[in-house]
Amino acid sequence: MRISKTILIVVSMLITGFTIGFFTAGRMARMRIDKHRNMMQNISLEKQFIAEKIDLSKSQEAEVFPILDSMLTLQKAIRQEHHNEMKNKRKIMFESIRPHLTPDQLKNLRQFTRKQRPPQPPVH
């Protein structure tokens, strides 16, 4: 009797731990993705991140930050241009397949495209 209670407790703890871990892992991954997305949209955050990772001294920061400012601004513009290009290509793709769809499929397509999140506004 005592062994069966112990086994029951261990199994219930394992199931509880698995369930909590399963739901927590997704949230943690999402938080990491959001952190990196925000950093890439905010030049000063990305600049600080780089400075911390390579351990720049104050004198090095004065020399390196102007370079980072110019390059990170360029990278941000390239990302935005790429995003707009992908958005346009996706729109063309859906317009091309629309004539081949049934009314039910068109309804599903409208719901699907409406559910897509708009791009996040840049963080300043």
Residue 121 covered by a domain: no
What's the number of domains the chain is made of?
A: 1
Please give the residue range of the domain that contains residue 15.
Answer: 2-115
Q: What pLDDT score does 26 carry?
A: 84
Cα(38)–Cα(122) distance, integer angstroms = 8
In the predicted structure, residue 85 carries a pLDDT above the cut 60: yes
Whether the Cβ atoms of residue 64 and residue 56 lie closer than 8 Å to each other: yes
The number of C-alpha atoms within 13 Å of 105 and in the hemisphere containing its C-beta is 7
Dmax over CA atoms of the chain, in Å, equals 73
Residue 67 covered by a domain: yes
Residues 87-97 have pLDDT tens digits of 999 999 999 99
- Per-residue pLDDT, averaged over 61-78, amounts to 92
